[in-house]
Amino acid sequence: MDNRPYHILFIDDDKDFLNSLNIALSRPLIANDKSLDVERHFINDPHEGLGFIQKLTEQQEKIAVIVSDQIMPTLNGIEFMEKAGAIVRNTVKILLTGYATLDSAKYAINNKILDYYVSKPIEDHDSFASLIMNAVKTYHFFEEKERAEREVRQYVKELEAKNEKIRDMHSAAEKIAYLAQGFKKLDLDDVLDLIITKIPEIFQARSASLFILDEEKNVLRLQRTNYLQENYTVPIDSDAKSPMVCALRENRILVLSDIRPAPNQYDFLNKECLGNSLIIIPFVVGAGHDSTDIFNKDEVVKGVLNMATIGVMEEEDIVNYTASLTRNILGINILNARLYQKTQQLALHDHLTGLYNKFLLGDSMQRECAYSERAGTPLFLALSDLDDFKLVNDRHGHLVGDKVLAELGALYRKTARKSDIVARFGGEEFAWLIRGGDARSTAALFELVRDRIQNHEFPNSVRLSVSVGVTQYNPRAGDSPEQFLDRADKALYQAKANGKNRVECSFVEVAI
C-alpha cells in the first residue's frame, strides 16, 4: 500500500493572503480530509514553487493539487501552471483569478493548461476547501485508474497469445480510454452531446438515447437522442417493465442480442426504431456510492444510456466488459459538468436571492457604461432598498427574513428583461441596470415594481414596501460609472427622506 501523503501547493506572492488562506482553510480542510493524508505548502514565489515541484517530483512524491494566483509580478499564474504542467502529470491545477482575467482563465482551461478557476476574492472558504479536497480525490482516482490500467495491460499482455477474447477486451479498453480523454470538458451540453454521438460508435449502434432520473418526480427524463422525435419521460414504478427501468433498478447492464423473443418480459419504447438488438447501460454516481467519493456529497446522477439498431453485436461478455468500462465515465463526467456549472453559479450569483452578486455588478457597470458611450444607447441604474426590513428580522427571525429576500429575488427575476442586470447590492439593497428605453418608461417600470412589492404577501404574511432611486448615465456631460452610482444612491436617500415607499428620479439632461 502506498502511504505517501498527497501534497497541496498554494502559490501567491502575497504572504498576508497566504497566511489568511491557511487560517481560513485549516478547519474545513481537516473536516473534509477523512480518508486521505494530505500536506499543505504555502509558497509566495512562483519560481521557488517550480523548484519545490521539481524536488517533490524527483523524490517521487504525489503532488495532487496546485492552487496559484493569476496576478504575480515575475510569472503570472497561467505561465506558472504551464511550466508546472511540464513537470507533473495528473495534478489538478486551480487558478485564482479576478474578473479582469476571466477570459484568460477560460482559454487556459480549454487548452488544458488549467482544470478549474475560482474568482477572487474567495467568499465561501468551506466550498473552496471542498473543491480542493474533491480535486485531491480526483487525483487519487486517476492514480488508482492508471494503476488499474497498468495491471490490466500487463494481464492482457501475458494472456494475449493464448486467448483471443482478451485481445478484444484490450481493444475495448483502449477505445474507452481514448474516449475518456475527449470528456475533459466543462460544458454540460458538450458532455451530453459526446455521450450520444461517440459512445454508440464503439458498439456500432445507430440509435441512442440518454435518460437521466428526475428524483423529485421519480421519472426518467430524456436528455439527448438521435432517433426519437419528441420528449419522453418514463415513470419509475415498482412493476415497470421498461428495460431501462429494470436496468437502473437492478443497476445491471442489459444486453439483448435479439429483442424479438422478449416482448412479454419487457415493454419497449419505440420498438420499431430499435432493430433486433439492444444495449442498456445504467449509471449511478453520487452520495453513498463508493465510485464517487471524489465528488460533492450532495450531488447524485442516475440514468441510462440506450443503444439499438446495432450493426454487428459482439459476443455478450465482450459487450458487457466494454459497457462496464463505459459506465464508469458516463455519470462521472455528467456530474463533473454539473458541479462546474454549480461553481460558476456560486461565483456569479448571490446564493440567497439567485440574483447576480455585487462583484459581477461592478464588472457589468463598467462594461455597460463603456457600451453606452460607444453606441449612444441610454443606460439607467436603479437602487432599491426595502423599507424597515430590520423589523421583519426582529419580529419573525432571520430565517423568515431570508425567505422574504429569496422570494423578493424571484419577484425581481420575473419582472426583469433578459437584457437587464439585477444584483443584490447589500443586505436588503438591490441594483438594477437597464440598457435602452427612456426616462419615462424606466420610471414607470419601477413604479410597477414598487406597487408589486407593496401588494405582495411574503412568507409569514409579511408585508413590505420599497424605496427606489433611479438615474441615467450621461457620458457626454463627463459622467463616470462612480458618479452614476453615487447619483442613484442619492436618489434612493431622497426617496427614504421623503417618506419611503416611493420612486425618486435624478435624471440630468442628457447631451445629444
Candidates 282, 334, 302, 290; CA nearest to 216 is 302
Residue 270: the pLDDT is 57
Q: What kind and span of H or E run contains 83?
A: helix 77-85
pTM: 0.40
Q: Is there a single domain that holds both residue 131 and residue 198?
A: no
Predicted local distance difference test score (pLDDT) of residue 262: 59
Specify whether the CB–CB gap between 133 and 33 falls below 8 A. Answer: yes
CATH number for the domain spanning 14: value is 3.40.50.2300
Q: What are phi and psi of 213, to 5 degrees?
A: -75, 125
List the beta bridge partners of residue 470: 382, 505
Output the DSSP codes for 107-151. HHHHTTS-SEEEESS---HHHHHHHHHHHHHHHHHHHHHHHHHHH
CA 471/CA 476 separation, integer angstroms:
15
- For residue 512, tell me if it sits in a domain: no
Mean pLDDT by 10 residues, the chain (512 residues): 85 91 80 74 94 94 92 91 90 83 80 86 85 87 82 72 55 64 68 83 86 84 79 70 81 80 61 73 66 45 85 79 79 72 65 83 87 90 93 92 92 88 89 91 92 93 94 87 92 94 80 40
What single-letter amino acid sits at 429? Answer: E
- Matching residue, cell 463603456: 370
Q: Which of 138, 155, 189 is the last residue of a domain?
A: 138
Report yes or no on 169 lying in a domain.
no
Strand partners, 191: none
* Domain identity same for 111 and 249: no
Do 380 and 430 share a domain, yes or no?
Answer: yes
Residue 1 located in a structural domain: no
**Which is nearest to 211 in space by CA: 270, 158, 171, 164?**
270
Residues 457, 380 within the same domain? yes
Asked if residue 147 is part of any domain, the answer here is no
The pLDDT, as a whole number, for residue 264 is 60
Instruction: Report which of 446, 418, 444 is spatially closest to residue 431, judged by C-alpha positions.
Output: 446
148 falls within a domain:
no
Among 376, 375, 378, 381, CA closest to 481: 381
β-bridge pairing 278-286 and 300-310: antiparallel
Q: Choose the final residue of a domain: 287, 307, 342.
A: 342
Q: Of 15, 12, 63, 72, which is closest to residue 40 (Cα–Cα)?
A: 63
Q: Decide if 29 contacts 40 (C-beta within 8 A).
A: yes
How far, in Å, CA of 349 to CA of 360, rounded?
8
For residue 479, CA distances in Å to 107, 367, 373, 475, 482 come to 34, 14, 10, 5, 8
Structural domain range at position 375:
358-506
Shared-domain flag, residues 310 and 458: no
Q: Which residues pair with 164 in a beta bridge?
A: none
Residues 396 and 444 occupy one common structural domain: yes
Domain presence at residue 152: no
Which residues are within 8 A (CB) of 404 and not within 5 positions of it... i.e. 6 or more apart? 389, 392, 458, 459, 462, 464
Residue 125 lies in a domain: yes
Residues 423 and 475 in one domain: yes
Q: Are residues 240 and 381 in the same domain?
A: no
Question: Of 342, 373, 396, which residue is a domain's last?
Answer: 342
> How many structural domains comprise the chain?
3
> What's the pLDDT at 244?
80
Same domain, yes or no: 237 and 320: yes
Question: Is residue 481 located within the same domain as residue 427?
Answer: yes
3-state secondary structure of 51: helix
